[in-house]
A and B are shown apart, each in its own frame.
Chain A
Amino acid sequence: GLGRWAYADAATAGDALYDVPRFGNVSVLHMTDCHAQLKPIYFREPNVNLGVGAMKGKLPHLVGEQLLKAANIPPGSAEAHALTYLDFETAARRYGKVGGFAHLATLVKRLKASRPGALLLDGGDTWQGSATALWTKGQDMVDAAKLLGVDVMTGHWEFTLGMDRVKEIVAKDFAGKVDFIAQNVKTADFGDPVFKPYVIREMNGVPVAIIGQAFPYTPIANPRYMVKDWEFGIQDDNMQKMVDEARAKGAKLVLVLSHNGMDVDLKMASRVSGIDAILGGHTHDGMPVASIVANAGGKTIVTNAGSNGKFLGVLDFDVKNGKLADFRYRLLPVFANMLAADAAMDALITKIRAPYDARLAERLAVTEGTLYRRGNFNGSGDQLLLDALMDVQGAEIAFSPGFRWGTTLLPGQDITREWLMDMTATTYSYATVTPMTGETIKTVLEDVCDNLFNPDPYYQQGGDMVRVGGLEYACDPNAKMGSRIQDMRLNGKPIQASHTYKVAGWAPVAEEAAHAGNKPVWDVVEQWFKAQGGKVAARKVNVPRLIGAVPNAGYDA
């Protein structure tokens, strides 16, 4: 059943959900990884988010009912729908779309009204993920974030607009309004800081430090040439230095606005002391409860606020006698039907989209199945891209990156150009066709698999496994690098190490690929849609046979 709100009207349900009593004297609102979604969307959470090693069975590696149990949330409720994939289609039709900056703005205003001085923190992945963000070089999101009242931000995909564009926005658009912070981004020559490492803001008489942690592996997960003069990395030692420096300057509460990914945040919280809370992003984990991590200096709260504008994290702190005494944490889902659109934000979004409306709305097909992306191994939306890349280019195998952004469509919905761009819009989305030996294919799969399942989170990059079309394989997540990928087959026949296969892919990180004259991936996929006759059947999702990893609280078949 859909629980106690199933028959209440949306506004009443909204009041119950969003009526969060104020607590303490310092409050921060946390959004992250909205991936440029200005309008409400559907977003299906994963049914596979495996935890390996010490991470097994722990947040954020819980899915479905296991996650609800950990947070004591009744199945069928609006919150349960926001947090899980359970009964997705029915619940999505019941509760409607999520996110949208106009609805988020209403929620932010409501919470700021009850929490004087509260700051709005944006964890990044804000300027990428939609057609308009790509076409305006992030300007749409910069303007929307300013109107929303973002106070402090850090970044990841922002950097794929290139160093000059990032510097331009920080120096011009954000001047005096938004602080872009990152303690772990330095110049590649002498290691000078590129951004402010932290800011100290006073809230109700309490000096609060917010330290920025940009995505440490930006030059690896994304094209290095886009950030060639900068160095990233986790930089624990410098983080400790910044914490100590901020405390020495009088900060009584020290927060980290992080784009590490949650497993990295949990490890960092155990190694650095003096951080009161890490508000994390990148891994898109909507965490209904905070994790508490012990370290040499005490305890650190770790949270993560999901993705796509679907959630707003609320952290209220009671700072007494110069230190944190107690806190409250809530992760609020943003239901468009329960929060009226803010008029000013709605007007801005309409204005931003006006020049592109016709292009965005163009219908490419109707989908008969649900199209989504999230999950460790594959999603039906990824499968659609794989099928299109193979069919159009005559490739026998296809790879699609394990991105965690991209929105969901319900059966019967139109596949518009806007959705296709939501799934593919980056500044380097070239479609490639590469001859690869069986040995190379194995090397690639092993490499990505280790980025996902290395038992030490500092060796992970926080995406999902590369999605694979054509090729079938088995995966043993607990094995060592080099032995995780097994039994690779094409059309039932074992892959030959020395045989060369035609492999399609997109979003290459190598610089040469940017100058090879390849078409953007959306052009290739649109060609495929044209051949489908208006309808796209539900996709048969190709996932590896798992060895040894299940049962796992992060796995629902």
Chain B
Amino acid sequence: MKKETHIHAAERFLNNKKNAVWHDETLWQTRAKRDRQAALIPEWEQLRELASKIKMHTITHLDHYLEQFAAAAEKNGATVHWAKDAAEHNAIVLQILQQHQATQLVKSKSMLTEECHLNPFLIEKGVDVVESDLGERILQLMDIPPSHIVMPAIHIQREAVGKLFEEKLNTEKGNADPTYLTRAMRKSLRQKFLASTVAMTGANFGIAETGDVVVCTNEGNADMGTSIAKVHIVSMGIEKVIPSHDALSVFVRLLARSATGQPSTSYTSHYQKPQKEGELHIILVDNGRSSILADKDHIQTLKCIRCGACMNTCPVYRRSGGYSYSYFIPGPIGINLGMLKAPKNYYTNLSACTLCFSCNSVCPVQVDLGNQIYKWRQGLDSIGKANRTKKVMSDGMRMMFKQSGIYHAALKAAPLINLMPRALIYCKADKWGIGRELPQFAKQSFNSWWKKEVLKK
């Protein structure tokens, strides 16, 4: 299936003006909150620097830290599984569920399970998969994917949630009060929690020296799930491992402040041991990560802690929405991760960047997101995916600018364009002219002025 390009999806998003303005402003407010929180920490920039170095160190010594982590986790009584790809990951989850004759799985938020398409896989096998993060649950009931990695339902306004809950949870007609709706969902989810025997979480960090898994949430849903169910499955990307609790102290100061502008998430839960008479399964997932390690231009994407700050600051993301990108992770980090996954499937996202580099500066682990997008663009021609218009324009410019004589002639002739009939200039082929007036060429270029006013004198 040919997916819609970012260009067209963005245009469609902007056609709904009221929604587009609201989306931009909402995400900008998150960026502003992040700025205010960061400003309260005098050593903020040193923290970013340190976080970047710790991550770089860890991912370049990943063999060592993963083994240390796995050994420590097993010593704690956890079972460690290694999954080389999504299929292996999903099969391991299913096997654990089957071993416990579980027909329901309560999940807290995890982008990795999204990446592995775990939910459709399990649902097809007859498992009742229940997302327990409020945003994720809303999306699950609407049967649509997340549009943001931290605030998955940020694009949905409360009136739409009210309507959905009327239908699914029998709430009062026309009641879109957030507290009311949240309580209705809590009541509905409580039944699911109480009935669950297996719970699943993602992992924000894995601590190599102690083998614990750290999960940061705001709603307490991860803790509710894992407290009731006897079996806990953790789905964790191999790049999530960090050396120590000292290292963790750097990341937890950065994560929530960067993500939502909170000093910390409401819950920072450490899972170290299985429950009494229970099981703790940790699935370490590669799914392409180890090949990124060998890619010197893009290795830095493995530092990402999935805070979403690059989305909130991205002027293009805010004005085009998460669904305008064809990869399931949108925004600057998503453009890069999509290219790492399958360039031919996701290259059309590369246009969604002005190279403003704001993402580089907000990133808490200093991933060079904008520079990487620039680099991907350089490779498009070699995979036969270069934009033809841009290629023709670039060739034309190269011709003109290589030869000073041609350029000088063009400079002289340019003002003639000003005299062309409006209908000829503002045609369909001229995308500049759809929303803007064209610049007027000067009657006398700087070159002519220089020759006349400076050289002749």
Decide if A and B are genuine partners.
no
B residues with CB within 8 A of A: none
A residues with CB within 8 A of B: none
